[in-house]
Structure 1
Amino acid sequence: MRFLLIFLLIITIPLWAQNKVKQTFKRYMNTANSAGLTGEETARYLLALNGLNTVSVTQSKGIMGDHYDPIKSVIRLSPKHFSTPSLTSAVVAAHEVGHALQDHQGYVLFKFRQALYPVAAIGSNLAFYLLIFGVLFGFNQLAVYGLVFMSTIVLFQLATLPVELNASHRAMNQLLSANVITSEETGGARQILNAAALTYVAAVLVALLQFFYFFFAIFGGRR
Structure 2
Amino acid sequence: MPFGFYPDRTMLMLIPAILVALWAQSKVSSTYRNYKSIRTMNGYTGEQVARMMLDEAGLYDVPVVETRGELSDHYDPTRRIVRLSRDVFYGTSISSAGIAAHEIGHAIQHKEHYKPLVLRTSIATGVNFASQMSMILFILGIFLSLPGLTTVGIIFFSATVIYQLVTLPVEFNASSRALKVLEGRGILLGNEVDGAKKVLGAAAMTYVAAALMSITQLLRLIALSNRNND
Task: Decide: shared fold, TM above 0.5.
Answer: yes
Offset of residue 93 of structure 1: 0.2
Answering whether residue 107 of structure 2 is matched by residue 100 of structure 1, we say yes
Answering whether residue 140 of structure 2 is matched by residue 133 of structure 1, we say yes
Structure 2: unaligned runs, 5 residues or longer:
1-7
Offset of residue 10 of structure 1: 4.2
Task: Classify the secondary structure of the residue corresponding to 1:80.
Answer: helix
Whether the 8 Å CA contact 1:21–1:196 is kept in 2: the answer is yes
Whether the 8 Å CA contact 2:82–2:104 is kept in 1: the answer is yes
CA distance in 2, matches of 1:102, 1:117: 17
CA distance in 2, matches of 1:194, 1:11: 19
Query: What is the aligned partner in structure 1 of residue 36 from structure 2?
Result: 29
Offset of residue 2 of structure 1: 5.6
Query: What is the aligned partner in structure 1 of residue 175 from structure 2?
Result: 168
Query: What is the aligned partner in structure 1 of residue 52 from structure 2?
Result: 45
- Residues 136, 21 of structure 1: CA spacing in aligned structure 2 closer, same or farther, 3 A cutoff? farther
Q: For 2:226, which of 193, 197, 219 is the aligned residue? A: 219
TM norm structure 2: 0.92
- Give per-residue Cα distances to partners, 1:148-201, cap 9 Å, x unaligned: 100111111110000100000000011112211013222211111110110110
- Residues 34, 136 of structure 1: CA spacing in aligned structure 2 closer, same or farther, 3 A cutoff? farther
CA distance in 2, matches of 1:137, 1:11: 30
Equivalent residues, number: 223
TM norm structure 1: 0.95
Answering whether residue 184 of structure 2 is matched by residue 177 of structure 1, we say yes
Task: Classify the secondary structure of the residue corresponding to 2:20.
Answer: helix
Tell me which moved more, 198-207 or 11-20. 11-20
Offset of residue 32 of structure 1: 0.8
Task: Classify the secondary structure of the residue corresponding to 1:65.
Answer: coil
Structure 1: unaligned runs, 5 residues or longer:
none
Answering whether residue 141 of structure 2 is matched by residue 113 of structure 1, we say no
Tell me which moved more, 4-13 or 179-188. 4-13
Answering whether residue 16 of structure 2 is matched by residue 9 of structure 1, we say yes
- Residues 77, 175 of structure 1: CA spacing in aligned structure 2 closer, same or farther, 3 A cutoff? same
Amino acid at match of 2:72: G
Offset of residue 34 of structure 1: 2.0
Amino acid at match of 1:218: S
Amino acid at match of 2:148: Q
Query: What is the aligned partner in structure 2 of residue 58 from structure 1?
Result: 65
